[in-house]
Amino acid sequence: MNDETVRTELPESIDATVDLLNSGAYVADRRLATALFLSLRMGRPLFLEGEAGVGKTEIAKVAARTLGRPLVRLQCYEGLDITAAVYEWNYQRQMVEIRLAEASGEVDRERLGRDIFDRRFLTKRALLQALEPEDGVAPVLLIDELDRTDEPFEAYLLEVLSDFQVTIPEIGTIVAREPPIVVVTSNRTREIHDAVKRRCLYHWVDYPDAERELEILRLKAPDAPAELSRQVVAFVQELRQMDLYKLPGIAETIDWTNALIAVDSLSLDPAVINDTLGALLKYQDDIARFDSQQVNDLLQRINAGVAASSNA
Amino acid sequence: MPDDYTGAGGGRLAENVMHFARVLRTAGLPIGPDKVVDALRALQVAGVRRRDDFYWTLHAVFVDRREQRHLFDQAFQVFWRDPQLLDRMLQLLLPQAGGNAPEPEPPPARLAEALAAGQAPPAAEEDEEDETEVEASLTWSAEERLQTVDFESMTAAEQADARRAIARLKMPVKPLATRRTRPDPRGRQPDLRATMRQSLRQGGATIDLRHRARVQRTPPLVVLCDISGSMAQYSRMFLHFLHAVTNDRDRVHAFVFGTRLTNITRHLRVRDVDEALERTGRVVTDWAGGTRIGACLHEFNFRWARRLLGQGATVLLVTDGLDREAGEGVAEEMARLQRSARRLIWLNPLLRWSGFEAKAGGARAMLPWVDEFRPVHNIRSLVELADALGGQARAPRRQTA
């Protein structure tokens, strides 16, 4: 990936959006491409919800890369506030400025006030950077895991998301010359307020079907033998039908495949599954549920399935 | 905006989309006129040559919650196969989707019985119970007696009084400090921005440090209340308590369970207690039935725990521990629940009997996993509970591996 990517035009159609995502090594289904296309064309933020590890964040990254735009990422956490998300004044420099003014014998308060709260002393954080990019190129703004913040911050976002502007009391309202492309993600650990959602186009990112997951593996773990990839995907798809606390996401599938490659296994067998299951399942309760008998049964079932599909 | 939303159907398309939006709205999706305009714009942008593009375009605009997908899908299939079906289908869709509950409504008679006050237990039983209470009550004033009388042996009038007392009850949960700050002269963090502004007001001659302090916030409270047959008298009273608490502070989530788990938070938010309980009664279908503690806790752990217990929540579990399935699977679920919660408190009405031992399979399986085990059978115990919750911020977190 090179940083010198030239800015490309927004896609003209849904098909072009699918191609665009594919060119960024993101295997998109058409539904997601439709939502993204609409968001780009209508200048609306795209709100992506889904379980952890299904590739929500990746969409923003790929969009930035393929459209040749910088990515500005705001990682949310509880208690995130304006000084961490939007802007902060550079107090040290301001104080120096005051001292300098004093030294020169100048005590015009009005003027000093104007000078101190000048843009020179403004430290831009993610949101302001996205609205006022340094190089003038409207970036892709990723507001990641919005569900981790609290309601006051959500409320603050309303102005940003609908009008692409923020208000700084000392300066005034800063409006984006060209709105950034906004992607908001949520793991749905809690419900996001309707007012935020109303300003966005919504898409629930689901686990991929077997075919698409296999395609993803081909791109993301190209060293894996074809036979192994098929087994891995079949195994993971079976797991997603089970009653687990945390179903494995695509990220886990890729991790697991890489783990399997690292231990040089050409195909799944019970021993290697037991050794590497931690790459796939992240809860002790889930791992503990699998005794060797269950692993054997599951393995037999998917092997039968894989054999049937490769004969077909 | 131009009015030529030309697609396959020309002007008819706009009309149909509007119609479709109305169907969705009737079915309970929150769709305003702005969304219709959005949808038309989106269709114009996306083009409507392919049926699946058409579907997902409308989906991106009209749906904003995962739970709405199914409803949208049904409405779409019905409506866009033949818009003429609309009127007939709307009639069919209404009773099913009009309310918030997808399940058929429980018979109102049962609900009335479950929620009616003063449904005194059979006379013989009452007499037996009274023997222990009457003697003590002679020396107490009426109010005092009310405080200790068992919910189970209350008369209708007493229950009404008790309800009023409960409604007055506040829940003083100690707040936790958040990462957010606000200006506070006694705060510890310097507020440089305010300092700078203050300094400028004086021409920059002096710099007096201003301060900020952490904002405090009450942690969430999650209540799981058993409403099975053996708990009938208590759970009714406890719902009143829950209603008072839910309306007293934010971030309270209430569930009831018998044979299945129901989230009643939204219904309890209604200010009027009678209406709130009536709404609750409408969505809960397993009043006064059996108990499947393990299965219900599993349901909670699986579907809700990660969403509700994230920010240091306290969990109140109200049950007598009498499990129809003899405690099967209870221990594992309790262990998980305890790990996910900041504090797990079990309220057990049976605890009032001094000789009580956790003999039932369910109770035995639960006991090792609770941080606190309290009786809850009269108003005094509820007051004590409120006090205990108030002290939780300083209570040390138990040690877990």
pLDDT tens-digit map of B259-294: 888 888 888 887 777 777 778 877 777 777 777 888
Q: Is A29 on the interface with B (CB under 8 A)?
A: no
Per the DSSP assignment, residues forming a β-bridge with A143 are A74, A184
Cα B272 versus chain centre, distance: 16
Long-range contacts of A113-116 (CB under 8 A, 24+ apart): A113/B200, A116/B196, A116/B200
The answer to whether A112 contacts chain B (CB < 8 Å) is yes
A9: closest CA among A60, A61, A66?
Answer: A66
Cβ contacts (< 8 Å) between A113 and chain B: which residues? 200
Residue A293 scores a pLDDT above 50: yes
Report how far apart the first and last C-alpha atoms of chain B are (Å, whole number).
Answer: 63
Inter-chain contact B53–A34, Cβ cutoff 8 Å? Answer: yes
Residue A31, pLDDT above cutoff 70: yes
* Phi (first) and psi of residue B281, to 5 degrees: -60, -30
Edge-to-edge strands, sheet with B211-217: B176-183, B211-217, B189-190
- Residues A200-229: pLDDT tens digits? 999 999 999 999 999 999 999 999 999 999
Contact residues, chain A, for B336 at CB < 8 Å? 245, 285
The residue of chain B with its CA nearest to that of A198 is: B64
Measured between beta carbons, the chain A residues lying within 8 angstroms of B69 are 204
Q: How many Å apart are CA B56 and CA B97, to the nearest integer?
A: 22
pLDDT at B353: 58
- 3-state class (DSSP) for residue B96: helix
Give yes or no for a contact between B59 and B73, defined as CB atoms under 8 angstroms apart.
no
pTM beyond 0.80, yes or no: no
Residue among B30, B38, B199 whose CB faces A194 most closely: B30
Higher pLDDT, B362 or A118: A118
Distance CA(B334)–CA(B332), nearest Å, equals: 5
Per-residue pLDDT of chain B (401 residues; tens, 9 = 90+): 444 444 444 567 888 888 889 888 887 788 888 899 999 999 888 877 788 888 999 999 999 888 888 888 888 888 887 655 555 545 554 444 434 434 333 333 333 333 333 333 333 333 333 333 333 333 334 444 444 555 555 566 666 666 666 666 555 566 778 888 888 888 888 888 888 888 877 776 777 888 999 888 878 888 888 887 777 767 767 777 778 777 767 788 889 888 888 888 888 887 777 777 778 877 777 777 777 888 888 889 888 888 888 777 888 888 887 777 676 778 888 888 888 888 888 887 776 655 556 566 677 778 778 887 777 666 666 666 666 655 443 344 444 43
What does the pLDDT read at residue B84? 58
| pLDDT value of residue B130 | 37
Do A254 and A287 contact (CB within 8 A), yes or no? no
Those of residues 334-393 in B touching chain A at CB distance below 8 A are 336
A37 contacts chain B (CB < 8 A): yes
Mean pLDDT of the A87-101 span = 86
Query: In angstroms, rounded to a whole number, what is the distance separating the alpha carbons of residues A236 and A240?
Result: 6
Inter-chain touch A34–B45, beta carbons under 8 Å: no
Interface size A-B, in CB pairs within 8 Å, comes to 115
pLDDT value of position B169 = 58
What pLDDT is stored for residue B279 in this prediction?
81
The closest alpha carbon to A89, from A64, A43, A122, belongs to A122
